[in-house]
Structure 1
Amino acid sequence: MIKRTFIDLFSGCGGFSLGAHLAGFHNALSVDIDPILTSSYRLNFPTSNLQIADLKQVEDIRVMMKNPPAKPDLLIGGPPCQGFSHMGKRDAEDPRNELIWHFFRHVRKATPNVFIMENVDGLATSEYGRKIVEEAILQLPSYYKTSGIINVNAADFGAATARPRVLIVGFDSRYVDDPRLEEKIKPVKKRTTVWDAISDLPGPVNTAEVNEFVWTKYTYRGDISKYAKALRVAPLKNLGWSQAVDRFNAGQITGLNATTHTSDVKDRFKLTKQGEVEPISRYFKLSWDLPSRTIRAGTGRDKGGFQAARPIHPSQSRVITIREAARIQGFPDWFVFHPTKWHSFRMIGNSVSPVMAKRIIKSL
């Protein structure tokens, strides 16, 4: 059986990669510059070829593969995008915007049959963003045909987060037919709610912020949603950190670390209604019967080390846990992130929803 291969650029913790694996593809290469955001990548994808490198400086990614496929089936990636993001002031001079240009440069070098670029929806509404994309695409040979900017939302693919994004899909017309992704994208009939995603999870546990994973017992309940059941399934062969899989099979997971709040903060959270913003912290309180808003990432030390505002739990006076955020984004329970809440939320907030990624890639 011929294995279909994929390359993941700007891979982060591996949300896009997980979607590709679940869609039946095998990893040939993943590249990211951030050793912290990728710190659990090799754990969750033990057979992967992860390389830590600055893709602006890499001349040809094919030299990073031991046995490079003559023509990769799929190249995916989400170049860092804060320069276009609605979350903060747009910065037309943000050097990370150049990474879109380098993404297409690597497409030209690697010549995949199909490529998918994912980015923030601000790319579609930014005149500078559209210009960057248009100029970047001009690097490709004429036999590559592209979709233009496609607006999507992770909630329409079954994830429990209303996360608006854009895609650009391209294909080598010499070898493959137009995937016509826009025609194949059909929103789910019923959106996944926060209740569907997290109501079966145990509450947070008080732990010290240490550089090791904390394992917590959780039990199976029969009255959980189809979405939660799917994320409780053990990983496919060649996926998952062996220690995490053993713990998972024994009924233990990570990511339930509690966040300490003062009594005043708890009182304010309690008074805040579902779907509203707590006026002092500006934290948004989730609604049980709706998808979550976009989970925000925060920044690394190079950008000030800011922790993003975390959503307030719908019925408990606290912010959500790492595992609850992971469930909302569409990560399975065996997937591990980082021992700290800060970097775990950076991983999740920067990731492509695996639920969305799987459906998009399977539709090609």
Structure 2
Amino acid sequence: MHPAASPHPTKAPKRPVAVDLFAGAGGLSLGLEQAGFDVVTSVEYDPVHATTHAFNFPLTDVLCDDIGKLPVDALRRSVQRGWENHHPAEPWDGTVDLVAGGPPCQGFSWIGKRRVDDARNDLIFHFFRLVNSLRPKYFLMENVPGITAGEHKELLADLVSKFEDAGYVVPKPQILNAAHYGVPQDRRRFMLLGYRNDVNPVSHPAPIFQPVRPVRSTLSAQLDGLPLGASVWDAIGDLPDLDAFPALASSDKVKLTSTQRKKMELASSAYARMLCGIDEDPTDFSHPRAGMSGWLTSSWQTQHTQTSIDRFAATEQGKTEKISRFLRLSEGGLCNTLRAGTGGERGAHTSPRPLHPRLARVISVREAARLHSFPDWFRLHSTKWNGFRQIGNAVPPIFGRALGRAVIEALGVEAVKPTIELDLPDEKLLYMAMGEATRFAGATHESIPKSRRQSRELLELAAAV
């Protein structure tokens, strides 16, 4: 997928090169870019997510393909194209500093059936296949903690053994919580971080923040004396009531008046001020984006029945509403783990969405994005279902940034902030249904896993090509 042209310097500053496999809409890609990497290639098999990724990362070459079938030569050609997008006047020397990715986790999740023979579990070995082919200096694999339990431990041990036999050093994996790195969400994730045996070693990043509410962690005893991280209200307290905007009943965006923008600015926490671009974030080394200044985006209203509204209103903060099983967020605490739900091939079930701490409704996609540490310029797919799925599947960018910084430090390079603002492509990429997204992404019927070929639109497309 070739993104629209964007302005870039004739000779951009040299930054480490990263590749993101299983990229989704781009949470980890953004975190790595914020840490100081040029993410030259991202691979995502879902065409809707791939087009959203292409919108937010105009210099990245986005491959819409199945990792399980992706030839190494095709991946290398994509890296070459992505390098040329970032450095049009300088040839690529073949070096890849980091390959990262989070293989689909449903096969390992405690919430699912956790079948050891789930075909999705094979993707961790395709991750190894592509890492070993590109031979990056470092690799990072993210997954759910369930990968360390039961019979899945044998799969994990096999994976680690393959990396070690291929000349990589794999320190003891860690289960880290995004809340310890400034994300206002209780989100525990397994991290496998390894390095080639001829480069500097890398360690998992130390905690940066004490969560505003205690979370489960083996590191809890080490958090004393650290500053408190952001709370739910720090993340969303400045965002306006969606019901005050009739346009959001039929659209995911609305233009704000100067008075409304000023009101938001006055209510913004330090966390929100950085995400909405009021204050500069000194640890963010990503390319500046043109964004949509003055717009509230990803904010389509959810219409509830009056009965539901009454039940939501009667639910206390920090408690679960008994019928819907939705948790009402506590404004001074952390958000619970935001989940993606299931894809269309598995019934298109939506995971329970938290309730707003003060308003009698579920949170919006933008509010979920704030709780996940996405900046306001970052756009999600216009539909609520896809938008929430993209967030639930993503690594929180601030968390990904901390992981990327650990590799940057091991590389011994100084992070460089690009100065040229990137223009984002046509936002029609955010409104594409599956068939249109498939055509735009250049995906073939064979490149999409069978589980995603169930929609009538895709079958019609397959018959037409």
TM-score, normalised relative to structure 2: 0.72
Instruction: Give distance in 2, aligned partners of 1:233 and 1:31.
Output: 28
Cross-structure match for 2:160: 137
**SS at 1:166 equivalent:** strand
* Contact 1:29 1:64 (8 Å CA) reproduced: yes
Aligned length in residues: 354
For 1:275-326, what per-residue CA distance to the aligned partner results, in whole angstroms no more than 9, with x for missing partners?
1111111111100011100011112211211111110011111000000000
* Contact 1:253 1:334 (8 Å CA) reproduced: no
Instruction: Give distance in 2, aligned partners of 1:105 and 1:215.
Output: 45
For 1:146-179, what per-residue CA distance to the aligned partner results, in whole angstroms no more than 9, with x for missing partners?
12320101111000111011100000121x2111
1:224 aligned to 2:284?
A: no
Instruction: Give distance in 2, aligned partners of 1:23 and 1:169.
Output: 16
Cross-structure match for 1:20: 32
Cross-structure match for 1:214: 253
Cross-structure match for 2:86: none
1:2 aligned to 2:14?
A: yes
Cross-structure match for 2:338: 295
Structure index of larger Rg: 2
**Which of 53, 62, 73 is equivalent to 2:76?**
62
How far residue 36 of structure 1 moved from its aligned partner, in angstroms, is 1.3
Cross-structure match for 2:107: 83
Cross-structure match for 1:111: 135
How far residue 266 of structure 1 moved from its aligned partner, in angstroms, is 0.6
**Which of 181, 197, 207 is equivalent to 2:204?**
181
CA change 1:206–1:39 in 2 (3 A) is farther
Q: Normalized per residue, which structure has more helix?
A: 2
Instruction: Give distance in 2, aligned partners of 1:46 and 1:97.
Output: 31
Instruction: Give distance in 2, aligned partners of 1:97 and 1:237.
Output: 32
Instruction: Give distance in 2, aligned partners of 1:320 and 1:267.
Output: 16
Cross-structure match for 1:169: 193
CA change 1:358–1:170 in 2 (3 A) is same
**SS at 1:233 equivalent:** coil
Cross-structure match for 1:95: 119
Instruction: Give distance in 2, aligned partners of 1:313 and 1:69.
Output: 50
1:197 aligned to 2:235?
A: yes
**SS at 1:8 equivalent:** strand
How far residue 70 of structure 1 moved from its aligned partner, in angstroms, is 1.8
Look up the equivalent residue of 1:34 and give its one-letter code: D
**SS at 1:147 equivalent:** coil
1:151 aligned to 2:190?
A: no
Instruction: Give distance in 1, aligned partners of 2:93 and 2:265.
Output: 44
1:255 aligned to 2:255?
A: no
In structure 1, list runs of 5 or more residues that go unmatched: none
* Contact 1:194 1:291 (8 Å CA) reproduced: yes
* Contact 1:46 1:239 (8 Å CA) reproduced: no
Cross-structure match for 2:7: none
- List aligned pairs for 1:303-318, cutoff 5 A: 303-318=346-361
Look up the equivalent residue of 1:65 and give its one-letter code: V
Cross-structure match for 1:233: 277
Aligned-residue CA RMSD in angstroms?
2.0
Instruction: Give distance in 1, aligned partners of 2:273 and 2:253.
Output: 22
* Contact 1:194 1:287 (8 Å CA) reproduced: yes
Instruction: Give distance in 1, aligned partners of 2:180 and 2:285.
Output: 25
Instruction: Give distance in 1, aligned partners of 2:208 and 2:365.
Output: 30
Instruction: Give distance in 2, aligned partners of 1:117 and 1:2.
Output: 25
**Which of 52, 55, 58 is equivalent to 1:43?**
55
**SS at 2:170 equivalent:** strand
Percentage of identical aligned residues: 35
* Contact 1:297 1:349 (8 Å CA) reproduced: yes
How far residue 84 of structure 1 moved from its aligned partner, in angstroms, is 1.4
How far residue 66 of structure 1 moved from its aligned partner, in angstroms, is 2.7
Instruction: Give distance in 1, aligned partners of 2:179 and 2:170.
Output: 24
Q: Normalized per residue, which structure has more strand?
A: 1
Instruction: Give distance in 1, aligned partners of 2:386 and 2:336.
Output: 19
CA change 1:253–1:263 in 2 (3 A) is same
Look up the equivalent residue of 2:301 and give its one-letter code: A
Instruction: Give distance in 2, aligned partners of 1:71 and 1:139.
Output: 22
In structure 2, list runs of 5 or more residues that go unmatched: 1-12, 82-91, 211-225, 279-283, 408-465
